[in-house]
């Protein structure tokens, strides 16, 4: 399932392609025909994300709500210069089409037209999103209060979207490694200072995922990326991690073996030595 930075990046792409326009909205597959008809002919005002939820606001108080789930994908592409509409290949649930761009949605877990009250309800069910400004409705302290009332492991809680929105398995494993925190410690034992380190690090790291489309968690890669962006270049970011999917390999910090365990149905990776702190 895409992590939160992917949805924020996608929202930015949809805004760039369709913001302020009146795209044709259709459902080539037919499963979203009624919803598409409600949006067709309306101004697309903005696209935005909270955690792993994507929202596309149209005039008239109507919002397209999309949850990609495990297999959903958006494809946003330019239309050819002759203006020919590209054929819809595969099972396209939703298509947005303008003179310049086409966006096809395939295989989402949720694709609905909702009103403002439902948007509020969906967002309020989520935890705070590190990619959103801190506010009364996006409060990291609320997440910490939930964590410290729970006997579940920190690893499970960081993946619970009602606790913390947008964080997936890679960010979860890597940020715990970065701060030497054992992933299997109970949430109720997590100190306030440790939680602040986690939150602040996610606030720093995740915008680079939005900008580059790649999760960056290693400091040397982060420094190279920052330097390239400062020069106005698009960096080539390697897909390298400290512990994620590195079972049995040496930890990049201490050389000990990276461990693996399935927790709540998801693969967890951590260093058995430098993440001993419980």
- pLDDT digit string (tens) for 40-57? 999 999 999 999 999 999
Buried b (16+ CB within 10 A) or exposed e, 166-181: bbbbbbbbbbbbbebb
Residues 6+ apart with CB under 8 A from 41: 22, 25
Backbone angles phi, psi at 230, to 5 degrees: -65, -30
Selecting among 52, 172, 178, 246, the annotated active-site residue is 52
CB contact set of 258 (below 8 Å; sequence gap of 6+): 243, 246, 247, 248, 249, 250, 251, 269, 270, 271, 272
**1: pLDDT strictly greater than 80:** no
pLDDT at 278: 55
Tens digits of per-residue pLDDT, 166-192?
Answer: 999 999 999 999 999 999 999 999 999
Distance CA 91, CA 128 (A): 33
Number of other residues whose CB lies within 10 A of the CB of residue 222:
15
What is the reported pLDDT for 27?
Answer: 97
DSSP 8-state symbol, 184:
T
The phi, psi pair for 93, rounded to 5°, reads -70, -40
Burial 230-242 (b: 16+ CB within 10 A, else e): eeeeebebeeebb
Marked catalytic residue, from 3, 9, 23, 178: 3
3 carries an active-site annotation:
yes
Q: Which of 38, 180, 253, 266 is catalytic?
A: 266
Q: Which residue has the higher pLDDT, 1 or 206?
A: 206
> Is 238 among the catalytic positions?
no
């Amino acid at each position: 399932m895409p992590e939160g930075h992917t949805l924020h990046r996608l929202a930015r792409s949809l805004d760039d392609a369709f913001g302020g326009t009146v795209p044709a909205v259709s459902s080539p597959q037919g499963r979203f025909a009624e919803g598409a008809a409600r949006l067709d002919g309306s101004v697309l005002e903005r696209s935005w994300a909270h955690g792993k939820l994507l929202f596309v606001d149209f005039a008239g108080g109507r919002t397209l709500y999309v949850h990609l789930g495990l297999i959903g994908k958006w494809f946003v592409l330019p239309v050819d210069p002759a203006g020919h509409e590209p054929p819809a290949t595969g099972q396209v649930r939703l298509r947005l089409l303008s003179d310049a761009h086409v966006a096809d949605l395939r295989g989402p877990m949720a694709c609905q037209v909702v009103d403002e009250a439902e948007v509020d309800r969906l967002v309020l069910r989520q935890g705070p999103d590190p990619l959103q400004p801190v506010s009364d409705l996006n409060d990291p302290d609320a997440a910490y209060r939930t964590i410290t009332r729970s006997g579940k492991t920190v690893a499970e809680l960081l993946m619970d979207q009602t606790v913390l929105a947008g964080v997936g398995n890679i960010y979860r494993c890597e940020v715990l490694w970065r701060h030497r925190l054992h992933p299997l410690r109970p949430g109720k034992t997590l100190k306030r200072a440790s939680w602040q380190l986690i939150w602040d690090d996610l606030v720093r790291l995740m915008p680079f995922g939005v900008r580059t489309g790649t999760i960056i968690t290693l400091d040397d890669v982060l420094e190279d990326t920052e330097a390239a962006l400062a020069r106005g270049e698009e960096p080539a970011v390697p897909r390298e991690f400290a512990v994620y999917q590195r079972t049995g390999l040496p930890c990049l910090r201490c050389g000990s073996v990276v461990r693996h365990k399935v927790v709540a149905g998801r693969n967890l990776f951590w260093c058995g030595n430098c993440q001993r702190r419980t």
